[in-house]
Amino acid sequence: EVDLDERLGELDLRNDSDIPDVPPPTDSTPEILKRALSGLSARWKNWWIRGILTLAMISAFFLIIYLGSFMLMLLVLSIQVKCYHEIITIGYRVYHSYDLPWFRSLSWYFLLCVNYFFYGETVADYFATFVQRREQLQFLIRYHRFISFALYLTGFCIFVLSLVKKHYRLQFYMFAWTHVTLLITVTQSHLVIQNLFEGMIWFLVPISSVICNDIAAYIFGFFFGRTPLIKLSPKKTWEGFIGGFFSTVVFGFIFSYFLAQYQYFVCPVEYNSETNRFVTECEPSELFQMKKYLVPPLLQAVLGWETVNMYPFQMHSIALSTFASLIGPFGGFFASGFKRAFKIKDFADTIPGHGGIMDRFDCQYLMATFVHVYITSFIRGPNPSKLLKQLLILQPEQQLSVYKTLKSHLIGKGIL
Amino acid sequence: QESESENKLDGETASDSESKSEFGGSPPVPTSDDTPEVLNRALSNLSSRWKNWWVRGILTLAMITFFFIIIYLGPMVLMMIVMCVQIKCFHEIITIGYNVYHSYDLPWFRTLSWYFLLCVNYFFYGETVTDYFFTLVQREEPLRILSKYHRFISFALYLTGFCMFVLSLVKKHYRLQFYMFGWTHVTLLIVVTQSHLIIHNLFEGMIWFIVPISCVICNDIMAYMFGFFFGRTPLIKLSPKKTWEGFIGGFFATVLFGLLLSYVMSGYRCFTCPVEFNNDTNSFTVDCEPSELFQLQEYNIPVVLQSVVGWKTVRMYPFQIHSIALSTFASLIGPFGGFFASGFKRAFKIKDFANTIPGHGGIMDRFDCQYLMATFVNVYIASFIRGPNPSKLIQQFLTLRPDQQLHIFNTLKAHLLDKGMLGSLEDA
């Protein structure tokens, strides 16, 4: 019986250069493209494929935005599942562990559990009215944490029972790999959806800023690139980095100006239980109402204006763009390091010319968390609907006493 | 027969003969003998088998006594002990990672691991402190700002560590560095979250801290005793010394122990009341009107048991019923935490996590069954015991905007009207 643990133990101790390469993925460029570009040299062919696919992805993005919040949620979910699949597949290839007992099922099971937990926590908040009406859902919501924990424990116990002699180390590696992947992909995707519910602009501007920074840094690097930025990614240059930063800030500023005018982008997404649809209609908050700002004397000379009409949100967009340009790339470097560590060229071959979904989303990792933390720290206070949900769970006597306290407070402030 | 019982006496870790075949090529991580000189001399006459038994026994009693002393000293000391145990567990697991990957000299890595531990602890403690020390925090200006922007500050701190990790990646060591990064994060996930859930349970009432931990310890000891005297059928290949007889005997013994311990503890306020921070005296107080969980009630004994026990009704605390759930979990699922740790030790060819406690191994060896217990108790309390805290909800309410406050007030009013609770108090 082959002791894989022994072999793996030796693998862990050797230098990176001694580790065998992971077999490269197959080329999945569609036949049509290949024939259309068969005349060009390899370098231009690659450039054209990348360009066409970039346009295709951006168009798909606009299409989904047009289709609405629900489609966006589904899209985020699909991307999350595909990213998870890509990273897990790499783990299998690295450890040749595709045949480990139970492991494929367990990985997908854990993905399901964690998604169930997160969706239950967030979605229940937003669908409060829908949930109130149905008895079975009430039960699931009330004991949500317990049910999620029980589901997770089942997976944990099955893992322990599935441990096979001489494969222990491998199985623990895959267990850890699964959990770290869940931590990265699932939490990010849920934060993206929470940002989305805050208002589509909080979803669109950050993602566009990261994409813009990618493209702008590439173009600046192509034309002006000279000084290498970091050993991990030899093609990145300081000129690209700085040029990308300024372009992204300007882009974010202008893009926010356009989006802030439409209620469709600016209003929190709400679920209307009567029409059973998502609605984005509201009184725009003061973030999205034009204000007069005094231009600082320094810029007055440059621009020639004394005051300017801006949305307050545009100031926030500067913070978002700055993060996207300065810290976002670290997500990309992390992914580059990861690919070098495990000797893979791309995460997968899903998108011709670009690699896998993860290759496109590596810079977005940190952005979603940043936007979420930014919103909770600087924009909105605690979530009123969550508070309401908790109030309704209290015992009737407690509700009554809270009611009296609130009433006296509101009367004292003159609101009632 | 002689070798079998000798194997059983060696305790829960792999016996020597078993480990020799497992270790095969690579040598096990050596652990020095940490037994204090005093003990060594006192027990020098006995054979090595009994010496081991005595060392384990003495240390067990020492740990239990220590546990009682800490309980006596109060919540603050308990919190500090939990914190220390957490740090030691983290250190033990990270050290194992270093030994496995020979990566003790990787640039930055020691610093980064401790830095991440600090960040995650800062985040969790900040959230807890904001909840429980609300009035204290609001009074002091620096604390108030730290609390308001807490998530942002924590995230910024974490990001700094993340960026430092990326900048520290060195050619030819990428894989190793990513392994250690993953190892650190999984360890944080296990160790730090558990320790914070324990502290949450503690604030709920010391009984929610003491009963679960004691049940796990009792199950350990009882399963060992039952296994020693009656053990015959092996339970799981991972831990060859565990037996079904020990498992089942331990289960019943633990449930009984839980019932008795809960009965004794429910009578004292210092155990059943939530821990609160008194702003005026700047200390923790445990004083309250005991909730109905801790008030004696008459229960009708089911007819089946009546003939056995001979009583028709029995006076019990409702908490004792909950203790049955806690003990059941401690006996049936808790051991899976121990099996997980056994598998881990075999995977990485180590005998013990460390040699901190003579005869027992490292702190992690003692706490492996507690992993899941803390999370279970926390989830149990959140699901079945307490609802949200009304005063906390009022605090959150006060931070909302006026129009949001009005909306919530009206919804609550409509809800109460629906339930007919506002009948006589109707005044707009």
- The whole-model pTM stands at 0.81
Chain A nearest CA to B160, separation (Å) = 10
Q: What is the pLDDT of residues A270-293, one digit of tens each?
A: 777 677 777 777 777 878 888 888
Chain B nearest CA to A32, separation (Å) = 39
Q: What is the pLDDT of residue B408?
A: 81
Q: What is the pLDDT of residues B123-144, one digit of tens each?
A: 988 887 777 776 677 677 788 7
Touching check for A139 and chain B: CB below 8 Å? no
Q: What is the pLDDT of residue B49?
A: 67
Other beta carbons within 10 Å of A373: 21
Q: Which residues contact A18 (CB under 8 A, 6 or more apart)?
A: none
A-chain residues near B340 (CB < 8 A): 156, 159-160
Task: Tell me whether residue A396 is in a domain.
Answer: yes
The dihedral region occupied by B292, where left means phi > 0, alpha psi between -120 and 50, and beta the remainder, is alpha
Look at chain A and report how many structural domains it folds into: 2
User: If you measure CA to CA, which chain A residue comes closest to B174?
Assistant: A341
B-chain residues near A142 (CB < 8 A): 383
Give dist(CA B211, CA B325) in Å, integer: 11
Burial A158-188, CB ≥16 within 10 A → b, else e: ebbebbeeebbbbbbbbbbbbbbbbebbbbb
Touching check for A396 and chain B: CB below 8 Å? yes
Q: Which range of residues forms the domain containing residue A48?
A: 25-67
- pLDDT of residue B381 exceeding 80, the answer is yes
A-chain residues near B162 (CB < 8 A): 330, 334, 366
Q: What is the pLDDT of residue A341?
A: 81
Give dist(CA B141, CA B222) in Å, integer: 52
Q: What are phi and psi of A395, to 5 degrees?
A: -65, 150
Residue at which a domain ends, from A67, A95, A122: A67
- Beta carbons of A13 and B101 less than 8 Å apart: yes
Other beta carbons within 10 Å of A196: 19
Q: What is the pLDDT of residue A171?
A: 85
Q: Give burial (CB, 10 Å; 0-12/13-18/19+) of A62.
A: exposed
Half-sphere exposure of A16 (CA within 13 A, CB side): 19
Task: Tell me whether residue A5 is in a domain.
Answer: no
Task: Tell me whether residue A74 is in a domain.
Answer: no
- pLDDT of residue B229 exceeding 80, the answer is yes
Residue B56: pLDDT band by 50, 70, 90 thresholds?
confident
Give dist(CA A369, CA A201) in Å, integer: 16
Task: Tell me whether residue A237 is in a domain.
Answer: no
Q: What is the pLDDT of residues B299-316, one digit of tens each?
A: 877 777 777 777 777 888
- Beta carbons of B394 and A156 less than 8 Å apart: no
The interface predicted TM-score (ipTM) is 0.83
Average pLDDT, chain B: 78
- When CB atoms are compared, the residue of A168, A169, A392 closest to B415 is A392
- pLDDT of residue B14 exceeding 70, the answer is no
Task: Tell me whether residue A56 is in a domain.
Answer: yes
Touching check for B339 and chain A: CB below 8 Å? yes
- Beta carbons of A381 and B399 less than 8 Å apart: yes
- Beta carbons of B394 and A402 less than 8 Å apart: yes
Residue A128: pLDDT band by 50, 70, 90 thresholds?
low
- pLDDT of residue B20 exceeding 60, the answer is no
Touching check for A47 and chain B: CB below 8 Å? no
- Beta carbons of B383 and A388 less than 8 Å apart: no
Q: What are phi and psi of A27, to 5 degrees?
A: -85, 120
Q: What is the pLDDT of residue B4?
A: 33
For residues A69 and B13, which has the higher predicted lDDT (pLDDT)?
A69
What integer is the mean pLDDT of B71-86? Answer: 84
Burial A99-121, CB ≥16 within 10 A → b, else e: ebebbeebbebbbebbbbbbbbb
Give dist(CA A155, CA A110) in Å, integer: 7
- When CB atoms are compared, the residue of A145, A172, A366 closest to B159 is A366
Highest mean pLDDT among A313-327, A344-358, B194-208: A313-327
Residue at which a domain ends, from A67, A84, A119: A67
Q: Give burial (CB, 10 Å; 0-12/13-18/19+) of B36.
A: exposed
DSSP A376: I
A-chain residues near B419 (CB < 8 A): 396
Interface size, chain A vs chain B, as Cβ–Cβ contacts under 8 Å: 194
What integer is the mean pLDDT of B149-178? Answer: 87
C-alpha distances out from residue B314 to B299, B307, B310, B322, Å: 5, 14, 10, 16
B-chain residues near A153 (CB < 8 A): 333, 372
Which A residues in the span 339-368 are in contact with B, Cβ-Cβ below 8 Å?
340-342, 366
Touching check for A180 and chain B: CB below 8 Å? yes
Task: Tell me whether residue A376 is in a domain.
Answer: no
Contact A86, A342 (CB under 8 A): no
Give dist(CA B150, CA A35) in Å, integer: 56
Helix, coil or strand: residue A235: strand
Task: Tell me whether residue A334 is in a domain.
Answer: no
C-alpha distances out from residue A355 to A49, B134, B251, B305, Å: 12, 50, 53, 67
- pLDDT of residue A180 exceeding 80, the answer is yes
Q: Three-state secondary structure along B350-395?
A: CCCCCCCECCCECHHHHHHHHHHHHHHHHHHHHHHHCCCCHHHHHH
Give dist(CA B59, CA B68) in Å, integer: 14
Task: Tell me whether residue A404 is in a domain.
Answer: yes
B370: its two tokens? 């507690």
Touching check for B382 and chain A: CB below 8 Å? yes
